[in-house]
Structure 1
Amino acid sequence: MANDANRGRILCISFSDITSDSRVLRQLDVLAELGEVTTVGFGDKPAAATEHLAVDADLPSLPQTPLGVALLALRRFDTVEFMAPAVKAARALLKDRRFDVVVANEARAMALGHEVAHGAPVVADMHEWAPEERSHVRSWRLLVKPFMTHQCAKYLGKMTAVTTVNDSIAELYKQRFGVRPQIVRNAAAYRELSPTPVQDDRIRLVHSGGAVPGRNLETLIEAVRGLDERYTLDLYLVPGRDGGKYLGQLRALIDGDPRITLHPPVPSTEVPSTLNQYDVGIYSLPPLTPNHLYMLPNKIFDFVQARIAVVFGSAPETDRLITEHELGVIAPDASAKAMRETLAALDTEQVRRFKQNVDTAAKVLNSTEDAATLRAIVGDLLARTAR
């Protein structure tokens, strides 16, 4: 493994605002242990990076230009793979650089990662199931899904290692593309926190995440508006890239309800300590895509480290964790009615018991195992390149 005198050069590509991307931030913490890290992506320099090459956040990471869309429609995927404006900008920034290991986040970064590696090993962190990331949107399903499928078929076999978020999605990659990813969950780091007391006449609900259409946040608001005065809901939402339009829609839906409070987002490092004052973390997502069906979002791990109980809409991966560790209860579907009835059936003694179970589970449901997996993958590759 690279030592302090001769640390490896690692490139991390992510077409996201990395400082707000909790999965990539955890990834960078591990990479920074192993070498000097250059990041390429939107936004400011992440704290763990040695160097950051900033890409204009207004540039799309898919070929959403008139020519690009036409080529997608014509299935000219090899021609279009470097035509996304953000990819073109990142390619220009990286053309003369050399690295010992490249980490490409998500399918849209694989072609660039493979090219700029110049033969160095490339680790593809696919996050979730790339071909159907937004297949519930018609334009994505018709134009982008075939492109993503082509990229996976073309590049996954060229990657030195592949990671993804859970076993269900790893199995999809194995069945469709013949690769078996290693598992790196979205688990948060362990926090030294304790459950806060539950009031006899109050159940404090909370949700944190992105204010992005399709996240089913309307359902959470509608569910709580139909509950009695015991329930409050606090929302810590990261604005989407729509100029605040969706947040405005949520404010209108809340309509001044004094029990529902919309807060500014907090840094990802502060999420568990902020949520610790609440009782139950809630989340529900209709299974419109395989990623929705097989979700294992970072927020369930954030809730665990915050030492709060959980109520989630049913999904195989989260159901397994909730049931195994008795973290809370599962709504039978993603409707407001199911969430409302599930929450209404809770009593304070149940919530207290769940919070104690969560406190025990926090010792195992954290990022230690995931960091060790990534550390072993990248550390081994650096050791090989140093020989």
Structure 2
Amino acid sequence: MPGRPRILSISFSHFPGDARVLRQLRLLQEFGEVTTVGYGDGPDGVAEHLEIDPSLPSLAQTPSGVLALALRRYRAVELSAPAVAAALRAIGGRRFDLVVANEARALPLAHAVAHGAPVWGDLHEWAPEERTHVLSWRLLVAPYMRWVCAEYLPPTAGVTTVNGSIAALYHDAFGVDVEVVRNAIPLQPLAPSTTPDDRIRLVHSGAAVPGRSIEVLIEATLRLDERFTLDLYLVQGRDGGAYWRQLRELARGSERIVFHDAVLPAELPATLNAYDVGVFVLPPRTANHRYMLPNKFFDFVQARLAIVFSTATETDSLIRRYGLGRISPGFTADDLAEALRTLDRGAIDRYKAATDAAAPTLSSAEDERVERDLIARLLRPSGPVGA
């Protein structure tokens, strides 16, 4: 009797902190024995984890690699970035029935080690504009990412991304069919918390990464009256915590702004449930910003919070459709403060009730159905793994 399918999941992220990849791995484990390759410690339940040194970059950042990017010699760099080369060595001669590439940068490696097995490309965002607000990235890496997509998406057996707007970008640019798997999380057994009469408890969770505009949340709170508090659950970025320290300095002297240690993804909804309003601001510097539908949106819904986000195509649609909260038309501290200033207990309770009603629809159930159907389809034609 043949053994269970062997599945490889590639992600140049730290698995325990990557909520999307963890949800994906849980489903992959239903179908086969899963090997992971990526930075740091491995996730629970996998058959094998191939650890990559977290200090190794997943894109070509050596002098020779940068020169190759500048000269558009992409074949020379697609497998030579330090983390990619380390992953290739770690995988060695292993064979798999399905290879999963998380994000476009993992596609060349996935196809190199697939040996004819189907590849599933899960594109967490619009890869050609991942960091185009950074000049060096825009000039050197963006053209490479577009080449990767043009070269490797057509032969990729299954392609998924986070929402319909970004799926349309991939289809229009590269002619591939893309299925939508949102960053939704499982339905949580929570109810809206009681809203105080005299306080409005704002909360934000996420990465303390420059460009995420967390300073706007702090500045808006400082502009608001004493009813408003802001609690921040932040993961420090790879800048050694420099941006996190800047945020702390900005909030220094305010007892209404509190910094907390980061919370594991599975624990986050219950932690956030103690608050009233989930807030987020992100200026539309790139297509990914314009079409954002981030993890935190679904975390806030499952925590049964009122939601106040800056305007963006996908989140605007859901906030309006389900009556989840308010949309800040601009991206400054004044814009956010104006959207929040007239909130009262009655409005917050109505929004919390709306997120409670929408929580089943905005859970991961539909996304998991899409993923299970895709995995089953990709594994169906596979033969036994070679020695």
Deviations 1:108-147 (A, max 9, x none): 1000000100000000001110001000100000000000
Q: In structure 2, how many angstroms separate the alpha carbons of the residues matched to 1:6 and 1:368?
A: 28
Select the residue among 19, 37, 43 that pairs with 1:40: 37
2:7 corresponds to 1:10: yes
Select the residue among 280, 283, 288 that pairs with 1:283: 280
Select the residue among 92, 98, 123 that pairs with 2:120: 123
Select the residue among 348, 360, 370 that pairs with 1:363: 360
Deviations 1:307-365 (A, max 9, x none): 11100000010001100111100000111111010010211100011001110100110
Q: In structure 1, how many angstroms separate the alpha carbons of the residues matched to 2:226 and 2:48?
A: 51
Counterpart of 1:158 in 2: which secondary structure? coil
2:132 corresponds to 1:135: yes
Name the structure 1 match of 2:220. Answer: 223
Conserved 8 A contact 2:158-2:378: no
Q: In structure 2, how many angstroms separate the alpha carbons of the residues matched to 1:48 and 1:241?
A: 27
Alignment of 1:300-379 (within 5 A): 300-379=297-376
Q: In structure 2, how many angstroms separate the alpha carbons of the residues matched to 1:159 and 1:267?
A: 32
Deviations 1:42-87 (A, max 9, x none): 1211014221111000000110111100110111111111121000
Counterpart of 1:150 in 2: which secondary structure? helix
Name the structure 2 match of 1:51. Answer: 48
Name the structure 2 match of 1:266. Answer: 263
Question: Structure 1 residue 184: deviation in Å?
Answer: 0.3
Counterpart of 1:23 in 2: which secondary structure? helix
Q: In structure 2, how many angstroms separate the alpha carbons of the residues matched to 1:54 and 1:369?
A: 32
Conserved 8 A contact 2:231-2:258: yes
Q: In structure 2, how many angstroms separate the alpha carbons of the residues matched to 1:353 and 1:126?
A: 35
Question: Structure 1 residue 386: deviation in Å?
Answer: 4.6
Question: Structure 1 residue 256: deviation in Å?
Answer: 2.7
2:148 corresponds to 1:151: yes
Deviations 1:242-287 (A, max 9, x none): 1111111111111131000010101000000000000000001000
Alignment of 1:81-100 (within 5 A): 81-100=78-97
User: Which residue identity lines up with residue 366 of structure 2 in the other structure?
Assistant: E
> Percent identical across equivalent pairs?
57
User: Which residue identity lines up with residue 270 of structure 1 in the other structure?
Assistant: E
Name the structure 1 match of 2:250. Answer: 253
User: Which residue identity lines up with residue 299 of structure 2 in the other structure?
Assistant: D
Deviations 1:140-194 (A, max 9, x none): 0000000000000000001001000001001101111101210000001111000
Counterpart of 2:296 in 1: which secondary structure? helix
- CA RMSD of superposed structures (Å): 1.1
Name the structure 2 match of 1:193. Answer: 190
Deviations 1:80-115 (A, max 9, x none): 111210001001011211000000011110000001
User: Which residue identity lines up with residue 253 of structure 2 in the other structure?
Assistant: G
User: Which residue identity lines up with residue 16 of structure 1 in the other structure?
Assistant: S
Name the structure 1 match of 2:70. Answer: 73
Counterpart of 2:382 in 1: which secondary structure? helix
User: Which residue identity lines up with residue 239 of structure 1 in the other structure?
Assistant: Q
Name the structure 2 match of 1:239. Answer: 236
Select the residue among 361, 373, 377 that pairs with 1:380: 377
Q: In structure 2, how many angstroms separate the alpha carbons of the residues matched to 1:31 and 1:333?
A: 40
Output the TM-score relative to the length of structure 1.
0.98
Count how many residue pairs are aligned between Structure 1 and Structure 2.
384
Select the residue among 58, 61, 68 that pairs with 2:58: 61
Q: In structure 1, how many angstroms separate the alpha carbons of the residues matched to 2:296 and 2:165?
A: 18
2:188 corresponds to 1:209: no
